Amino acid sequence: MSIEAGALGQWGEEELLAAAGPVRRFASARLSDRHAVDDIVQEALARLLAARDRLDGSSLLPYAIVTARNLVTELGREHDRHRRHAHRVIDLREPDRPEEVVLPPSPAGRSCSRCRPGTSAGSARCRPAGI
């Protein structure tokens, strides 16, 4: 991982990469999903870079840890919100069968008025055009 010269402001790439380890350990202790841990570390470092003008060298690691803590909390709230509202997204009712909606069932053996006598109501000749 290489960062452009001058992008780090008053501290160097070593300080930023040194903060990545503790942030990763912090996130790994609280999350079981490795990809979520990677996302938390990446977002925490991005926010650390965004706040580089307001931070000095001694507040770098505490800021990174607090940012990671807030991101883990936000991720947990988002997961909980999705779980609480999942029932609103999925309709578990049995859908109407298209053939029953388009062609209402008719008694077996009845002839359709559009077909010749003896043709059953469910046959291909009895169906409306386009179905």
* Residues belonging to the chain: 131
Q: Quick one: tokens of 121?
A: 């109501």
Q: How confident is the prediction for the chain on average, in pLDDT?
A: 78
H or E segment to which residue 31 belongs: none
Q: Say if 117 falls within a structural domain.
A: yes
Judge whether 21 and 68 are in contact, CB under 8 Å: no
Are residues 21 and 67 part of one domain? yes
Among candidate residues 54, 60, 50, the one with its CA nearest the CA of residue 18? 60
| Residues 84, 110 share a domain | no
Q: What was the pLDDT predicted at 89?
A: 75
| Structural domains counted in the chain | 2
Give the 3-state DSSP-derived string for 41-55, with helices as H, strands as E and coil as C.
HHHHHHHHHHCCCCC
Range(s) of the domain holding residue 31 = 13-89
For the stretch 45-102, pLDDT in tens is 999 989 888 888 788 899 999 999 999 999 999 999 988 888 777 767 776 776 666 6
Least confident interval from 6-20, 26-40, 56-70, 80-94: 6-20
Please report whether residue 7 resides in a domain. Answer: no
Q: Is the pTM of this model over 0.75?
A: no
